[in-house]
Amino acid sequence: MIWQALLLQAGYNAALVSLGAALLGAAAGAAGAFLTLRRRALMSDAMAHATLPGIGLAFLAMVALGGDGRFLPGLMLGAALTAAAGLWAVQRLARQMHEDAATGAVLASFYGAGIVILTLIQGLGTGRPAGLETVLLGSTAGMLRADALVIGFGGLAVICALWSLRRPLAMVAFDPLHARMMGVNPRRMDATLMALVLAVVLVGLNVTGLILIVALLVTPAVSARMWSTTVTGTATLSAVIGAVCGYIGAAISASVPDLPTGPVIVLLAAGGFGLTLLIRGRRDG
Amino acid sequence: MALRVQGLTLRYNEVLALDGASAQFPIGSMTAIIGPNGAGKSTFLKSVLGLVAAAGTVAAFGGPVAQSMPRIAYVPQRAAVDWSFPVRVIDVVLMGCYRKTGLLGLIDAATSAHAMAALARVGMQDFARRQIGALSGGQQQRVFLARALAQGADLFLLDEPFAGVDAATEAAIIAVLKALRKDGATIIAVHHDLSSVAAYFDRVLLMNRRTVAEGPVATTFTRAALAQAYGPALMLDPTDLRSEGPTERPAA
Amino acid sequence: MDEFLLFSLPPMLIASLAAIACVLPGNFLLLSRRAMLGDAMSHVVLPGIVAAFLLTGSGSGVVMGAGALAAAGLSALLIEWVTRRARLEPGAAMAVVFTTMFALGVVLLETTGTSGVHLDVEHALYGNLESLIWLGGPPPELLRLALIATGLALALRLIWRPLVLATFDPVFAQTQGIPVGWLRAGLTAATALAAVAAFQAVGSILTIAMLICPAASARLLTRTLPAQIMASLGFAVASALLGYVLAGYAPLWLGLPFTLSASGMIATVSGLLLALSALIASHLARAAL
């Protein structure tokens, strides 16, 4: 069964999920490499949690307009808006406190607001929020061809953008002052990187859910970093690790009943990191 | 004049970091910026480059600094760099070629050769493929100098280039800097070791948030000026007398 | 009035006590720049609870709490180990460890059929504050939280001086013979304890909010540490009460026949208070110039 899934022989839907998860893993791995090099790993956590109120609000807005509340592009737009607001809030608060604290505060309060809105939806009885709550932990079971295409093309677009911007992104991460002197605007580069990470978070909501997407961004990246001495090498390897974990994880979850896709992918990536630590970790640490 | 700074003032919240600092740096000069901790030396360099927004006027090569940016190189303090970053020596130097390769440009053979030549000038060509964190402190400084050279700069701003390097490396770095000056470059370095000022530099800028004294080492680097910059509590070791101005030097 | 005593007072007290238990270590996490440790801790509670339940088959709060504490301790060790061994920034190490443990928790939950019977992920995330009512006696969470909050306050009073010194200047503290490493571990343990206790009553999201937001608000508006801690306690209790009332009554005022998530609302209120404090603080700073 597992071999069938790995060879894309386990049915149309399973194949779709495997390919989608692989592309998502690749995009997340590549974006995560730059994110961790810029030391913003936890920023993605805040961003992912801050999508929840947007999803709820978009659902309410679409229902109020007489549409289908679960229309995916609409939900993603809402998610993007509040995630961007959350990012802005982190940056604003970070002027007055350590970035860590700003990140945690925004994460918790945006997520809390999201939960309030979910209970509001539930109370209004306009829809089964159970359908919405899959964004917490993802759900690949009902993945449609259209969803897989969104993930695939979104992932490819992110990878292409990262590839073409790899030099300025690396310069800003390594030495932002020098980058600025060389005519690279660090703030604009950071904003671009955050937009790309946001894109990964949005397409990842369907697969891993918003709590675990941060693992897909960070874990392959920190493993890759221990094997490569260049930025491009780190990002490429990280993308490969992400893709492999996504693919195998989706295949395993398709062939074992009750095994959720997102957590399996995360555990595979963690296994890869564990191996990396054993082989490449500092002995004296 | 390579660099002319007038009335540089910067306030961080309630603290005055720079208070109308002014200075001039002639082309081909080698200037040490000295002063006590918190005198705003690093801030001075960063505001000159426009990396922090300070009030005042700065002119480089007779025009706005932004216009001369390609000619200016800045070497940050060692502590400001993440040395575990996955870049090789050659990658760091190639970052200095960024204006030539452009945003998306590929790196061709000529650019690589240019970067290697810059590395060779600081004697680091054999380390091109090492990860930056695998080098010693002095070697890392030389790589940053090579990055500045690759950039084609002729005005070098260095923030404590000798912090945390051993004596031999210090000599190697100073040799590179002196060779650069011979080719017409202007060098400005934040410096801490008062005893080596006279040996390494020809000009000095003494500052403590504002300019205390500036000019040739011989006439400016005096006990009185130092006392004014550091406060009267500064006790100079007698072996440091070498670094004092001629007026107070015992007659030979 | 009786209805208030039975149905509203216990959850309000529990929310306030949970907030107090979290705020005490939260202040020091914030000062030592480890604020996100709370985030990590409250995510790793889930696998601990699931594992404890699977191992013992007991659904008692104490057993599950012990499992959660063990998981929190394990993850703290793992984070330290990964940070050193992989030379990672703490944030990245944290993200790796807590997502792994959380994923493990979800997988255990789903594959062993525990899901839906005794536990579910949503409940773990945002608690079930509204159900903690007076049923012929106080809910056990109330007593447990009261005990833990008091214990944390006493412990803090006891080690106040060395803790402040070690937080402010660990190197100097070390030279003064203060066991900085132990204090650091103790703070981690206190955070874990508060996170586990609060988690069982109010869910992980409120735990994170209470570990960070009130302390951060207080820090912006006060100049001394005792003042900061008092103010943060005030912010915490205010968020808990205001959030609970808003969640329970705001829809009724609007004529809607249901209530909103109290934990979510409390977290939101604490965030709004932080935003307000940030605005006030920057306004004051500008006025001072």
Least CA distance to A211: which residue of chain C?
C99
Tens of pLDDT along A191-223? 999 999 999 999 888 788 888 899 999 999 999
Q: What is the mean pLDDT of residues B6-14?
A: 83
Which residue among B72, B86, B95 sits closest to A229, beta carbon to beta carbon?
A: B86
Convert A191-204 to b/e letters by CB count within 10 Å (16 or more is b).
ebbbebbbbbbbbb
Q: What is the mean pLDDT of residues C62-80?
A: 89
| pLDDT of B242 above 50 | no
Q: Which residue has the higher pLDDT, B229 or B71?
A: B71
Kindly write down the DSSP assignment for every residue of B55-78, as one continuous string. Answer: EEEEEETTEEHHHHGGGEEEE--G
Distance from CA of B8 to the nearest CA of C (A): 19
What is the separation of C-alpha C54 from the centre of its chain, rounded to a whole number of angstroms? 25
Is C154 within 8 Å of chain B by CB? no
Q: For residues C47 and A94, give the distance between their C-alpha atoms in angstroms, rounded to a whole number.
A: 32
Residues A21 and A247 sit within 8 Å (Cβ to Cβ): yes
| Cβ neighbours of residue B43 closer than 8 Å, sequence gap 6 or more | B10, B17, B18, B52, B54
| pLDDT of B141 above 90 | no
Q: What is the mean pLDDT of residues A108-124?
A: 90
Instruction: Give CA torsion, residues C253, C254, C260, C262, to 10 deg.
Output: -30
Reported as a pLDDT band with limits 50, 70 and 90, residue B73 is confident
Write down the pLDDT at residue B252.
Answer: 35
Q: What is the mean pLDDT of residues A30-46?
A: 93
Residues C257 and C6 sit within 8 Å (Cβ to Cβ): no
Reported as a pLDDT band with limits 50, 70 and 90, residue C289 is low
Highest mean pLDDT among B106-115, B186-195, C269-278 belongs to: C269-278
| pLDDT of A23 above 90 | yes
Write down the pLDDT at residue C23.
Answer: 95
Chains that contact C by 3+ CB pairs under 8 Å? A, B
| Chain A residues touching C104 at Cβ < 8 A | 263, 267
Least CA distance to B12: which residue of chain C?
C289
Nearest to B10 by CA among B1, B22, B21, B2: B21
| pLDDT of C258 above 80 | yes
Q: For residues C28 and B244, give the distance between their C-alpha atoms in angstroms, rounded to a whole number.
A: 49
Reported as a pLDDT band with limits 50, 70 and 90, residue B1 is confident
Reported as a pLDDT band with limits 50, 70 and 90, residue C42 is confident
Q: Which residue has the higher pLDDT, B74 or A282?
A: B74
- Give, for C262, the enclosing helix (H) or strand (E): helix C262-288
- Strand order of the β-sheet with B72-75 is B72-75, B155-159, B186-190, B30-34, B203-208, B210-216
- The phi and psi torsions of B119 (rounded to 5 degrees) equal -65, -40
* In chain B, % of residues over pLDDT 90: 16
Q: What is the mean pLDDT of residues B100-111?
A: 71
Reported as a pLDDT band with limits 50, 70 and 90, residue A165 is very high
Tens of pLDDT along C188-225? 999 999 988 888 778 888 889 999 999 999 999 998 88
| pLDDT of B106 above 70 | no
Write down the pLDDT at residue C98.
Answer: 92
Looking only at Cα atoms, what is the longest distance across chain A?
63
Is A165 within 8 Å of chain B by CB? yes
Reported as a pLDDT band with limits 50, 70 and 90, residue C273 is very high
Least CA distance to B70: which residue of chain A?
A182
Reported as a pLDDT band with limits 50, 70 and 90, residue B102 is low
Write down the pLDDT at residue B30.
Answer: 94
- DSSP H helices in B78-209: 89-95, 98-101, 109-121, 137-150, 167-182, 197-200
Residues linked to residue A206 through DSSP beta bridges, in sequence order: none
Residue A194 in tokens: 């955050």
Distance from CA of A180 to the nearest CA of C (A): 24
- Name residue, tokens 């060509």: B125
ipTM of the complex: 0.90
Q: List the domains of chain B with CATH numbers.
A: 3-247 (3.40.50.300)
| pLDDT of A265 above 60 | yes
Q: Which of A29-38, A142-151, A173-182, B31-40 has the lowest mean pLDDT?
A: A142-151
Percent helix, percent strand, percent coil in chain B, to nearest 5: 40, 25, 35
Write down the pLDDT at residue B25.
Answer: 93
Which residue among C43, C91, C272 sits closest to A42, beta carbon to beta carbon?
A: C91
Note whether B74 contacts A184, CB cutoff 8 Å.
Answer: no
Q: Which residue has the higher pLDDT, A119 or C236?
A: C236
| Count of all residues that appear for chain B in the document | 252
Residue C265 in tokens: 């609302």
| pLDDT of A285 above 70 | no
- SS3 category, B144: helix
Q: What is the mean pLDDT of residues A91-114?
A: 92
Best probe of the C interface among A91, A97, A218, A267, by most C CBs < 10 A, is A97
Write down the pLDDT at residue C6.
Answer: 72
Q: What is the mean pLDDT of residues A253-269?
A: 89
- DSSP 8-state symbol, A132: H
- Strand order of the β-sheet with B15-25 is B15-25, B3-12, B55-60, B63-64
Q: Which of B138-152, B234-248, C73-87 has the lowest mean pLDDT?
A: B234-248
Q: What is the mean pLDDT of residues A71-81?
A: 89
Write down the pLDDT at residue B250.
Answer: 41
* In chain B, % of residues over pLDDT 70: 89
Nearest to C263 by CA among A124, A116, A52: A116
* Superfamily the domain C2-133+144-288 falls into: ABC transporter involved in vitamin B12 uptake, BtuC (1.10.3470.10)
Write down the pLDDT at residue A189.
Answer: 94
Write down the pLDDT at residue B237.
Answer: 47
Note whether A211 contacts C258, CB cutoff 8 Å.
Answer: no
Reported as a pLDDT band with limits 50, 70 and 90, residue B238 is very low
Q: What is the mean pLDDT of residues C88-106?
A: 90
Q: For residues C81 and A285, give the distance between their C-alpha atoms in angstroms, rounded to a whole number.
A: 8
Distance from CA of A171 to the nearest CA of B (A): 7
Looking only at Cα atoms, what is the longest distance across chain C?
63
Chains that contact A by 3+ CB pairs under 8 Å? B, C
* In chain A, % of residues over pLDDT 90: 55
Tens of pLDDT along C226-256? 999 999 999 999 999 999 999 988 888 888 8
Write down the pLDDT at residue C122.
Answer: 65
Write down the pLDDT at residue B219.
Answer: 83
Highest mean pLDDT among B41-45, B197-201, C47-51, C212-216 belongs to: C212-216
Q: For residues C26 and C44, give the distance between their C-alpha atoms in angstroms, rounded to a whole number.
A: 17
The counts of H helices and E strands in chain C are 13, 0
* CA distance readout (Å), A25 to A76, C63, C129: 19, 37, 37
Chains that contact B by 3+ CB pairs under 8 Å? A, C
Write down the pLDDT at residue B245.
Answer: 40
Write down the pLDDT at residue B246.
Answer: 41
Q: What is the mean pLDDT of residues C28-40?
A: 88
Write down the pLDDT at residue C27.
Answer: 94
Residues linked to residue B10 through DSSP beta bridges, in sequence order: B18
Q: Average pLDDT of chain C?
A: 86
Q: Average pLDDT of chain A?
A: 88
Write down the pLDDT at residue A127.
Answer: 53
Distance from CA of C106 to the nearest CA of A (A): 7
What is the separation of C-alpha A247 from the centre of its chain, rounded to a whole number of angstroms? 16
- Portion 74-113 of B in contact with A at CB < 8 A: 74, 76, 80-82, 85-88, 91-92, 95-96, 98-99, 101, 103-104
| pLDDT of C172 above 90 | no
Note whether C110 contacts A118, CB cutoff 8 Å.
Answer: no
Residues B216 and B208 sit within 8 Å (Cβ to Cβ): no
Q: What is the mean pLDDT of residues C122-128?
A: 68
Q: List the domains of chain A with CATH numbers.
A: 2-274 (1.10.3470.10)
Tens of pLDDT along B28-68? 999 999 988 888 898 899 888 888 888 888 999 988 888 88
* CA distance readout (Å), C79 to A139, C72, C205, C211, C253: 29, 10, 21, 19, 47
Reported as a pLDDT band with limits 50, 70 and 90, residue B232 is low
Distance from CA of C86 to the nearest CA of B (A): 10
Distance from CA of A92 to the nearest CA of C (A): 9
Reported as a pLDDT band with limits 50, 70 and 90, residue A141 is low
Nearest to B151 by CA among A175, A165, A188, A37: A175
| Chain B residues touching A167 at Cβ < 8 A | 95, 98, 101, 103-104
Q: What is the mean pLDDT of residues B103-128?
A: 84
Residue C207 in tokens: 């735990």
Write down the pLDDT at residue A128.
Answer: 54
Q: Which of A130-134, B156-160, C3-7 has the lowest mean pLDDT?
A: A130-134
Write down the pLDDT at residue B249.
Answer: 39
